[in-house]
């Protein structure tokens, strides 16, 4: 019997300091976390492996975090991902 794939949280945050805070908080709770700095990186990460949840900054390079939220909510495959 195969183990279920590990669930990860995706943090979309351009600040390396804040990204580290999210990763450390997740680790303390036994949850894996992956970080990226912009919407392009986020969309690629989500396409490769659907995260259990997404934390996003609203102030991102290029498009805002609101654009990321709108893109995920409009996609039938991804609209169920909790976003904070």
Helix residue ranges, H only, 6-64: 16-28, 39-48
Q: Name the architecture of domain 8-71.
A: 3-Layer(aba) Sandwich (3.40)
* Residue the block writes with tokens 């979309």: 12
Element (H, E) at 8: strand 8-12
- The per-residue pLDDT for 62 is 86
Task: Note the pLDDT of residue 42.
Answer: 93
**Which DSSP symbol is given to 53?**
E
pLDDT for the residue 2: 45
Q: Indicate the domain borders of the chain.
A: 8-71
Per-residue pLDDT of the chain (84 residues; tens, 9 = 90+): 444 446 899 999 999 999 999 999 999 999 999 999 999 999 999 999 889 999 999 999 888 899 999 999 999 999 899 998
The pTM of the whole model exceeds 0.75: yes
Q: In angstroms, what CA-CA distances link 77 with 46, 47, 71, 74, 80?
A: 10, 10, 11, 9, 7
């Amino acid at each position: 019997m195969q183990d279920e794939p590990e669930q990860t949280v995706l943090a979309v945050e351009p600040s390396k300091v804040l990204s580290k805070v999210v990763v450390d908080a997740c680790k303390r709770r036994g949850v894996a976390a992956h970080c990226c700095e912009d919407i392009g990186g986020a969309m690629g990460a989500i396409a490769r492996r659907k995260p259990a949840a997404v934390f996003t900054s609203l102030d991102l390079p290029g498009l805002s975090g609101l654009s990321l939220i709108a893109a995920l909510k409009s996609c039938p495959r991804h609209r169920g991902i909790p976003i904070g």
